[in-house]
Amino acid sequence: MSRKSFPAVKNDLLLRVCREEGPVAETPVWMMRQAGRYLPEFKALRAENEFVKVCKDAHLASEVTVQPWRRFASGELCEVARSLPWAEVTAENALDAVIVFSDILTIPAALGQTLTMVPGKGPVLTPAGDAFRQVSPEDVSRFVEDELGYVFDAVFASRMKIHSAVPVIGFSGAPFTLFSYMVEGGGSKTWAAARAAFYRRIREDPHFLKPIESVVAQYLIGQYDAGADMLQLFETNADELPAEVYSEFVVPGLRRIVAQVKQSRPEAIVALFAKDYRRLEDLADFPDVLGVGWKDDIATVLAKIKARGLSKVPVLQGNLDPAVLLSGDLEILHKVKELKIKMKNEKWIANLGHGMMPEMNPSMAKTFLQAVKSSL
């Protein structure tokens, strides 16, 4: 299999920051969970359609993918930015990427667990039990194409819908986070059952996550081939294991996934978001982009990475506390300015340190985007 051919991405700022050696004058920006949840147009579409149905229908999924882009592509100033003499919008397009509408739980679903989105509760998976499908190495490609091809269709439809205006970001859950959800059957406050199962499994076989790794790598490659130029691994639960356990038993798998993707698709940009991992600098030598959660100070993370003396420092992505969006326009402008000062002349993709929340509104997102793009 190989990649389809596409018209070049028109606003390729995000790709240039990742690919070019030297600094790039402008800062690209997008928001984790920018599609869905807080958008009225998403809520309207969801009122009519089941979550899993939206994921599986390329027309609906691509529609949600491009919703934030439709809203935020224009360079209109927010009210507050307009009233401040030092804020001047410098770019026409505020949002520099779209992320495909899907979920990390597509993989557990493909492996046999039924996924339901329960209102007020979140995702619920039927127990893994014996139904858990084991995919052998020679079957991975076929399995991913058969069971997850609908995500590739959504990526392709998204890229077509916007005529390659901005890059499409594809994504996957990372193996440990997927394993946690598979064991718990959904989200958990403590993740104790997931940790317990993890300790038992690594005692039996330290490489027990390998079959999931191959699926993840192939899944990312499929999304690249379908038109996604950047691929993000979401390891939301990186901080749910002791750092030394995570480092010994999980990080090698992340390295293998990134290596496999980069080896077979050298042009693909791979981003890793290992949320709140205490040794983030240890991950700096393999992804192109390293996400920084909102609990970290991005300048400290960068200093620790630089102290390693690597030949290539990854582009950092993040890390505004999403709650800042709830604290008012002036606070957003102030905090974005602080981040800009920290990341001046550094390779940086402006983003939140986690996702948009259902209680937010589009105006908050807009202020964030405009603050990044303005000269403050």
> Where along the sequence are the contacts to ligand CP3 (CB under 6 A)?
33-37, 46, 51, 99, 101-105, 117, 122-123, 171, 187, 234, 236, 355
Instruction: Give the whole-angstrom CA distance, residue 356 versus residue 364.
Output: 10
Structural contact between residues 302 and 346, judged by C-beta atoms closer than 8 angstroms: yes
* C-alpha distance from residue 213 to each of 222, 254, 339, 345 (Å): 14, 8, 34, 35
Provide the minimum distance between the beta carbon of 13 and ligand CP3 in the complex, in angstroms, as a whole number: 19
Instruction: Check 12, 38, 46, 159 and give the catalytic one.
Output: 46
Residues belonging to the chain: 376
273 or 286: whose CB is closer to ligand CP3? Answer: 273
Instruction: Give the whole-angstrom CA distance, residue 236 versus residue 360.
Output: 21
* Residue 201 bears catalytic tag: no
Provide the minimum distance between the beta carbon of 154 and ligand CP3 in the complex, in angstroms, as a whole number: 10
66 or 87: whose CB is closer to ligand CP3? Answer: 66
* Residue 103 bears catalytic tag: yes
Helices assigned H by DSSP within 309-361? 329-342
* Residue 33 bears catalytic tag: yes
End-to-end CA distance of the chain: 46
Q: State the residue number with the nearest CB to ligand CP3.
A: 36
Provide the minimum distance between the beta carbon of 228 and ligand CP3 in the complex, in angstroms, as a whole number: 12
Provide the minimum distance between the beta carbon of 339 and ligand CP3 in the complex, in angstroms, as a whole number: 20
Instruction: Check 181, 219, 224, 246 and give the catalytic one.
Output: 181
70 or 340: whose CB is closer to ligand CP3? Answer: 70
Instruction: Give the whole-angstrom CA distance, residue 176 versus residue 204.
Output: 16
71 or 87: whose CB is closer to ligand CP3? Answer: 71
Count Cα atoms within 13 angstroms, Cβ side, for 199: 9
**Hey, is 171 helix, strand or coil?**
strand
Instruction: Check 33, 133, 201, 265 and give the catalytic one.
Output: 33
Which positions are catalytic? 33, 37, 46, 103, 181
